[in-house]
């Protein structure tokens, strides 16, 4: 029983560690042909990045043609070889 609890706690902390972090931002520019987007983003706690305007790569599953400059969005990122890719993005009302 004790071992079961330990296994459960281990799984739970792994889940918390991997739980997605949403970051809010605003679309500045969309570059659909290169699958990139420039966002003005808020502070990103997981990588301690200050608020700024910067380009991100975007996974091809995200329909960039639906985003326009000025759109308020929230998104999730992953770090790949030192560059940031957006893996999930949705508009905020």
Residues that bind Cu ion (CB under 5 A): 49, 52, 54
Q: Which is nearer to Cu ion, 67 or 75 (CB)?
A: 75
How near is the Cβ of 54 to Cu ion at its closest, in Å?
Answer: 4
Closest by CA position to 75, among listed 27, 11, 9, 15: 27
Residue 52 CB, nearest approach to Cu ion (Å):
4
DSSP 3-state of 41:
strand
Considering the complex, state which of residue 38 and residue 49 has its C-beta at the smaller distance from Cu ion: 49
CB of 32 to Cu ion, least distance (A): 21
Beta strand 52-58 with 83-91: parallel, antiparallel or unpaired?
parallel
Question: Which residue lies nearer to Cu ion by CB, 8 or 43?
Answer: 43
Provide the 3-class DSSP secondary structure of residue 31: strand
Other CB atoms closer than 10 Å to residue 36's CB: what's the count?
Answer: 16
């Amino acid at each position: 029983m004790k071992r079961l609890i330990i296994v459960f706690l281990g799984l739970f902390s792994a889940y918390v560690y991997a739980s997605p972090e949403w970051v809010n931002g605003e679309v500045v520019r969309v570059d659909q042909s290169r699958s990139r987007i420039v966002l003005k983003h808020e502070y990103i706690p997981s990588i301690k990045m200050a608020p700024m305007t910067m380009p991100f790569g975007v996974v091809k599953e995200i329909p960039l043609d639906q985003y326009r400059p000025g759109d308020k969005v929230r998104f999730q990122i992953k770090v790949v070889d030192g560059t940031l890719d957006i893996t999930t993005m949705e508009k905020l009302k």
